Structure 1
Amino acid sequence: MRRIIFASLCLIVAVVGKPAEHYTDKFDGVDVSSIVTNRRLLVPYVKCVLEQGKCSPEGKELKSHIKEAIENYCAKCTDAQRHGTRTVIAHLINKEKDYWNQLTVKYDPDRKYTKKYEAELKSVKQ
């Protein structure tokens, strides 16, 4: 009986403790292009992840994964998230340098990861 209980607990721990293969796709339908082209929409997201303002549910989700996503080059992102991430980063690098620099200081102060994004996305047309 103890073996059955122990085996059941191990199975539960294995299932619950298994890291997600992807981030939630709950917000994959967000129109990222319309956000980056409208500062009134963009700035609150940036301020959220910089911890300088309130966060929407989408902003909270983004903030909870931003460091890991930068460090692993969006390995757990869905295709929609990967495309959206490239769109946002390209926009910030090319059109919102001050915000890009603030985000870099906060999430990659040694610039180990952001240099790769800059080399790839500098001058990408939006």
Structure 2
Amino acid sequence: MKTFFILCALVVAVSARPDGFYTDKYDNVNLDEILSNKRLLGPYIKCALDQGKCAPDAKELKSHIKEALENYCAKCTKAQQDGTRRVIGHLINNEPESWKLLTAKYDKDGRYVAKYETELRTIA
């Protein structure tokens, strides 16, 4: 949600392109750098949770989290799909409290969590 969805986020970048996909403007973001540094990751999580200010890319990303979760990132580019899986996998495996908060906000009924958790529990 990819971000968590921030992260689904991060990756799911922003506004829809005319061809029905999200913009690829942020497809080259260095996810390894962000995911390995809590100082960089934290603001994205806080933005997604409405607990902090949002940078422009995070704000646009946040606007697509729910839709990306619901349609399994159907409007994502290949890079965004891969990045979303990495981000969600990282959150599940390394940031369980943030994952829990994000899923409570974006998947209150738990319809999508099981799908992602089962598949991504071991992806780092």
TM-score, normalising length: structure 1: 0.81
Q: Which residue of 2 aligns with 1:91?
A: 90
Q: Which residue of 2 aligns with 1:24?
A: 23
Count of residues in correspondence between the two structures:
108
Shift of 1:58: 1.5
Q: Report the aligned-residue RMSD.
A: 1.4
Q: Which residue of 2 aligns with 1:75?
A: 74
Which residues of structure 1 form unaligned runs of 5+?
Answer: 1-18
Higher helix share: 1
Give the % identical residues.
Answer: 61
Q: Which runs of 4+ in 1 moved over 3 A?
A: none
Shift of 1:20: 5.0
- Structure number with bigger Rg: 1
Q: Which residue of 1 aligns with 2:51?
A: 52
Which residues of structure 2 form unaligned runs of 5+?
Answer: 1-17
CA offsets 1:74-119 (integer angstroms, 9 cap, x no match): 0000111111101110000001000000000000011101110000
Q: Which residue of 2 aligns with 1:13?
A: none
Q: Which residue of 1 aligns with 2:8?
A: none
Q: Looking at both structures, which has the greater relative contact order when contacts are Cα pairs under 8 Å and sequence separation is at least 6?
A: 2
Q: For residues 32 and 78 of structure 2, what CA distance do their matches in structure 1 show?
A: 15
CA contact (8 A) 1:70 1:114 kept: no
